[in-house]
Amino acid sequence: MLRFVCAVVGILMTFAAGAGAQEGRSPLSDQADARMQLGAASLIPTLRGRRLYADQKLVVGYVRDVRVSKDGNTLIVVVARRRWLGGGEIAIPVPLLRQQDNDLTITATRQSIRQIPLFPP
């Protein structure tokens, strides 16, 4: 019985030590995360489903989603890239997008678009 109690106490102390090692979040970082999520959510109705064009009216693909980047500092659009440009979904930072007339554009060549790595699901 004493061994059982010692084992339970040891397990509880391990969990308590692990909980103390977690990174604390400040209210400011929570507010920044919330603002980025709201920014992404507000752009979704505007951008989702729109064609994205590159230089010389090259159709890159369609905007599938707007998300916050992994580092939490940039909004990105997830674009379904056309097959002949490599296919798959790619991520492009929102600040690189431009509105020209009624078109959503990015300054890029066919070669540079093919070199953009796939966005992980």
Q: Is residue 76 part of a domain?
A: yes
Q: Which residue has the higher pLDDT, 101 or 17?
A: 101
- The parent domain of residue 101 ranges over 48-121
With 0.75 as the threshold, say if the pTM is over it. no
CATH number at residue 118: 2.30.30.240
Q: What is the edge-to-edge ordering of all strands in the sheet holding 103-105?
A: 89-93, 75-81, 58-68, 51-54, 103-105, 98-100
In this structure, is residue 9 part of a structural domain?
Answer: no
- Asked if the structure places residue 27 within a domain, the reply is no
Cβ within 8 Å of residue 103, ≥6 positions away: 51, 53
What is the number of domains present in the chain? Answer: 1
36, part of any domain: no
Comparing CA positions, the residue from 37, 55, 56 lying closest to residue 96 is 55
Report yes or no on 97 lying in a domain: yes
User: Considering the domain boundaries, does residue 40 fall inside one?
Assistant: no
pLDDT of residue 1: 45
